[in-house]
Structures are given as C-alpha cells and as structure tokens.
Amino acid sequence: MHKIRWMLEALRVPNDNPELTLSQFEAFSKQVPLLYFILTTNMLSLAWTHRDIAPAYLVIYLPAVLAVIFILRGAGWFFSRHRKVDAAQAYRRLRATNRLAAPIAIFCTAWSLALLPYGNGYEQAHVAFFMAITVIGCIFCLMHLRSAAMVVTVLVNIPFFIAMVLSGEPTFVATGVNVILVSMAMIAILLTHYRDFRQLAEQRHVLQAQNKTMQVLSDENLRLANLDSLTLIANRRSFFHTLERRHAQAEAEGGILAVGVIDLDGFKPINDMYGHSAGDRVLVEIAERLKRFESDTISVYRLGGDEFALILTAFDEANAMALGTRICDAIAQRINLGSGIVQVTASLGIALYPDVGENGHDLYERADYALYTAKRHNRAGVVVFNAVQARELSRQKVVEETLQVADLEKELSLVYQPIMDVASRRCVGFEALARWNCPTIGPVSPAEFIPIAEYNGRIGLITRLLLERALSTAATWPDDVFLSFNLSPHDLVTIEGVMRLIGIVEDSGFDPRRITFEITETAVMSDFEQASTAIHLLRQLGCGIALDDFGTGYASLSYVHRLPLSKIKVDGSFVSEIHRRGTSFKIVKSVLALCSEMGLEAIVEGVETEEELVILEELGVRSVQGYHFARPMADALTHTLFAGPEDKAAVKLRGRS
C-alpha cells in the first residue's frame, strides 16, 4: 500500500513548497527547448529513412504536424525562460507539462511502432534506435520534473519492450531488455538527482531566509546605531554622517546649508533637584518638541547630554534665525514632571555654508562656537556665526597651538590681589592669579588661555606648576596671611589629580590651614559626587574651600548646604554701583545673612570705589578685594603691604596708576 501511494505521489507535481516549485520551474524551463529539439530531430530523421517505404500520412503529414507543434512549444519555452513567475504560475505550467507528457509519449510510441513493419532490418533497427535514444534523452531533459520523466519512461518502454520481444529477433529482444535496464538505471539516477535537487533547493531557501533575517538584523542594527536610545531621534553618529553627505551635496550643487547646535540652559539643576529620571523625561520631552519641526529640509539630532543639533537645507540666515527663535520659544515652554513643573531654556548657535565651512565638521565647529557666544552674551537666544566670531575663533586656534608648544615654566607667572579686612584696612590674604606672557603672541589673558588649557589637557600641569610657585611665595608672608588659589573643574575630576595637589601642599611645608582653594559652581556641576569627594579630601587636609562667583550660576544655593565650604565669594557684578542699585544691595544683604546662618565667611569681590566700600561696611562685610585697594601685583610687591603706612600708600598709588 505504501509503495502504491509512493508511486502515485511520484506521478504528481508536488505543490507543498513554493520555493521548491520555483526552483524546479527555473531549472526545467531551461531544459524543455532541448526536449522538443530531440523529439523533432529524431522524429524527422525516422520519417526521412521511411519516406519511400511507408504511407505518406506516417512519414509526411503526421511528422509535419508534430514538428510544428514541437517547434512552437520549444520556441515558447525558450523565449520565456527568463520571465519572472510566481509559485502559483510555475506550478500551473509544470502541471500542464506533466499532463501533456502522457499524450505525447503515447502518440510518439504509437507512431514509431506503426513504422516498425515497414522496411528491412536497417529501417526496423532505426525504429528501435529512435525509441531508445528518445526515451533516454527525454529522461535527461525531464529530470527536474520527476513525474513527467517517469510517465514517459513507462509509456514508451513497456510498449517498446513488448514489440521487441514479439519480433522474435534475438537482436531486438536484447535491445528491448537493454533499453529497459538502462532506463531503470536512468530512473534511479533521476530519483537521486531529484532528491539532491530538492535538498539543495530547500537549503538554498533556508540560506536565503537566513540571509534575509541577517539583512533585517543588519538593517535594524544600523538603524539602532544611528538612533539615540533615550529620545529615539537620530544620534551624534548619524548627525556627522548626514552632515558630511549634505555638505558634499551642497558643494557640488552650489546650494546652501545651515547647522544649528542647541544647548539647554538650566538642565543640570533639574538632575540635581529631581533626579536623573526626571532629567531623562525632560530630554525626551525636548526631543518631542524638536521632532515637530522636522521636515524634508529640517533634521533633528541628539549629540549627547543636553545638546541637540539641526541640519537645515535651503535656509538662508533670516529663515534660520526665525526658525531658531521658534525652536527656542518651544523649548522654553514649561514641562510637567508629575512631581513638579520645571522650565529650561535653550541657547542656539548657527553656521551657514557657503559663508563658512570647508567641510561638514568645520561647519559644525563654527556653529558650536556661535553657541558658545550665545551662552556668554545671548543666553536663551540665537547667534549666527559671523566675522567677529571668526576672528575670535582664529585667535583661539592661534592661542591653542601656541600653548601646546609653550615653555610653561618660563612663560607662566603669578600676580597677587590683596584681600583686605574692612575694619582694619589690613591685608589678610592674597588671591593668586595666573599670567601668561608668550614671547611670540604677547600677553594672553587667563580668561583666554585657561579654557583652552582645560580643553587640550594642559590645565593640570599649569595648576601644579603655579601652586608650587604660589606656596613658595606665600611661605614668605606673615603667618596670619592666607593664600587663595583657584582650581579648575578639571583639577577635581579624578582622585589622582586631587592627591597630586595634596602632595604638593605637603611637600611645601606650608600650613594647609592658610590655604583657601577657590572653586566655581561649574567645577561642582560637572560631576557633583566626584567634586564633593575631592573637596572633602582637601578639607581633611586642613585647607579652606571658597565658592567663587557666588550668585551668578543656576543652583549655587543647592550646593552650599551639601559641601564643606568655608567661604563664599560674592561676585563683583553685585557690588558695582551698589550704593545706587537697590536690587544689588538686597542681594548682597541676603547672601551675608545666609553666610552668617551657615557659619561661612563672606568675601566681596570687585570693590572699586569708596562709596561701594562704605555700603558694604554698613552691611557688615568683613573681607573685600578690588581695585579700590590695589590691582594684582608681582610677588615682590606683596611684602610692601606688611610695611609701614607710607610704603602702603606708595603701593596703593602705584596700583591705581
């Protein structure tokens, strides 16, 4: 029963695997023209040898009709062999061929056997040859359509074998047996080939499926690699890749291109006050607001942290400024975190090609510098890179290149600005201030070279070098005079860096209690936990810690109670014209009250007039510094402040001149 079922299954065209059906059809369509060529040539050859001995209908009319049919079908298969078909179409055509195989096999067999009685032994041998070679050729051509090959083999070989046996001629009998055996071998080869072909097709299908899966995974990985995981907008990698491509396109087509760099103002305090999860929600909300501006000409990216970017095509300066203003307004809208309402603003820097930017990264750097300018002079606003900034940036690069090769030990120096006791008008300390006198580009302001040194990594060396010199000078002062020394945020980012500073203090032999390290809010905000650890280590050594420029940042109050501070330095911007500006008066009064409540010493900076000093004295300020007393002076002149009244007056006059 099983064998019968297998035989019936073998005589049908399988339709259980669409991919196999397509592979079968593709291979079979290339063999069918050869099949019809074999049938046509063999049939015409046999008809030719019997042309004078058999009836005309057998050697002329029937062969002619069959030849036309075979040629037309062969040509049809030949010219359509490269035509794309789906699995259903392929199955229908294979099934039609399978059905046609039986009638063709029966007709060809009947026709050839009808010629067998005519002629002598040569003509009869030709009939036997025709049937044998035709069936073998058909088996080869039909090997990709197993069912048709088996139908042809059975329908041709059985009648052929019977005819050969009935002839009684030993040669014909042997030929019949030989053809049967060869056909059986051919069928065995066909079945093996078909099995291997099926396995190969299935493996190819699996491989294609795997490749397709791998391609999908690769595409997904590529998408994820270019996507910011938090905000689900394009990331920094995608930004620079797209920027270079758009820049090259604008350069080739003579188009315009704008890059915008956005930085959030006031984001860090949200992280500190509400936690990083709240900060993440703010970033997601800002990204959603930016995505609303996306279009064919506007692309939005997150570069990292609270920094975003824009790529604008076909935007001139006016349109870019207008868009930037709308974006800043959208970002400034309040955000509901559930636990509270927060608000951040954004500063935006824009650079436009072809005005600037020899390449994509160059254009980005200009936009980033415009952002830097916006944060300094137009916070929460938009700045477009212009000629003034170009000169500043050019100067910055000159300073950076010069600083890299500078002999810092020879070129760096310190000056000292006195810190005065208001009541006694006596100098109680000095703030050490760095100076760089470069032999090639001249004197360079600390406000100019310190940020560059922080950027290129030389700030650590500068801090250590100047601290050693400051301690050496301070060792010559009276024991009740302290040294105030500024630290960069980069000096606090690692424990190793802080331990080096502690080592310098210990090696100097200078009393740590006479040292006050000044830190800015920026130093604390960059990494509060690390900065707090560093400050505690310095306090354990005995050093004082002063929070510099108090009142100018976003979250100074939130740090005061969390850090072991000893002093607060009130920024000079609140002192200028304090005797005329009621707001400044109230701010300074509040800060002094805060310091009194927390047991902190207050030092007021920027005192330049006697009127300002009088008001501060009325408020109870104890320590001040500013040009009213003296400008920063060389180390040799510091000793004159400890001399008699005449010498002090002379120093004061020189300082004001």
Q: pLDDT value at position 158?
A: 77
Closest by CA position to 300, among listed 236, 346, 353, 250: 236
Closest by CA position to 450, among listed 378, 523, 399, 395: 399
Assigned token pair, 29:
């369509």
Q: pLDDT value at position 646?
A: 45
Residue from 228, 263, 265, 306 carrying the catalytic annotation: 306
170: left (phi > 0), else alpha (psi -120 to 50), else beta? alpha
What amino acid is encoded at 255 in this protein? G
Mean pLDDT by 10 residues, the chain (657 residues): 49 64 72 79 83 84 84 80 75 74 77 79 77 72 69 74 78 77 72 66 64 58 73 91 92 92 87 84 94 94 93 92 94 87 92 90 92 84 86 86 91 95 92 94 91 87 95 95 93 90 95 94 74 91 90 60 87 84 86 88 92 90 92 91 54 41
Asked whether the beta carbons of 566 and 544 are under 8 A apart, the reply is yes
Assigned token pair, 128:
């036997």
Pairing assessment for the beta strands 307-313 and 335-336 based on DSSP bridges: unpaired
Residue whose pair of structure tokens reads 């010629």 in the numeric block: 115
Pairing assessment for the beta strands 257-265 and 307-313 based on DSSP bridges: antiparallel
Assigned token pair, 73:
């079908």
DSSP for residue 633: B
The domain ranges of the chain are 2-209, 236-385, 398-643
Q: pLDDT value at position 651?
A: 43
The pTM is what? 0.58
3-state secondary structure 618-632: HHCCCEECCCCCCCC
Q: pLDDT value at position 409?
A: 92
Asked whether the beta carbons of 32 and 97 are under 8 A apart, the reply is yes
Q: Terminal CA-to-CA distance of the chain, rounded, Å?
A: 121
Q: Which CATH superfamily is domain 236-385 in?
A: Reverse transcriptase/Diguanylate cyclase domain (3.30.70.270)
Assigned token pair, 225:
């690699």
Residues 6+ apart with CB under 8 A from 590: none
Alpha-helix runs per DSSP H in 116-235: 121-141, 146-167, 170-225
Closest by CA position to 417, among listed 617, 210, 630, 645: 630
Measured distance CA(567)–CA(570) in Å, rounded: 10
Tell whether omega for the bond before 18 is within 30 degrees of 0, i.e. cis. no
Residue whose pair of structure tokens reads 């500013």 in the numeric block: 626
Closest by CA position to 329, among listed 280, 368, 278, 293: 293
Q: Can you spell out the DSSP letters for 86-117?
A: -HHHHHHHHHHHHHHHHHHHHHHHHHHHHHTT
Q: Can you spell out the DSSP letters for 11-41?
A: TS---S-HHHHHHHHHHHHHHHHHHHHHHHH
Q: pLDDT value at position 102?
A: 75
Measured distance CA(278)–CA(149) in Å, rounded: 74
3-state secondary structure 500-534: HHHHHHHHHCCCHHHEEEEECHHHHHHCHHHHHHH
564: left (phi > 0), else alpha (psi -120 to 50), else beta? beta
CB neighbours (10 Å) of residue 209?
11
Instruction: Using only the alpha carbons of the chain, give its radius of gyration.
Output: 47
Residues 6+ apart with CB under 8 A from 439: 411
Pairing assessment for the beta strands 544-550 and 515-519 based on DSSP bridges: parallel
Q: Indicate the angle between helix axes 62-79 and 87-115, nearest 10 degrees.
A: 160
The CB-based long-range contact list for 388-397 (8 Å cut-off, 24+ gap) reads: 390/356, 390/366, 393/365, 393/366, 393/369, 395/448, 396/448, 396/452
Measured distance CA(284)–CA(304) in Å, rounded: 12
CATH code for the domain defined by 398-643 = 3.20.20.450
Annotated catalytic, 306? Answer: yes
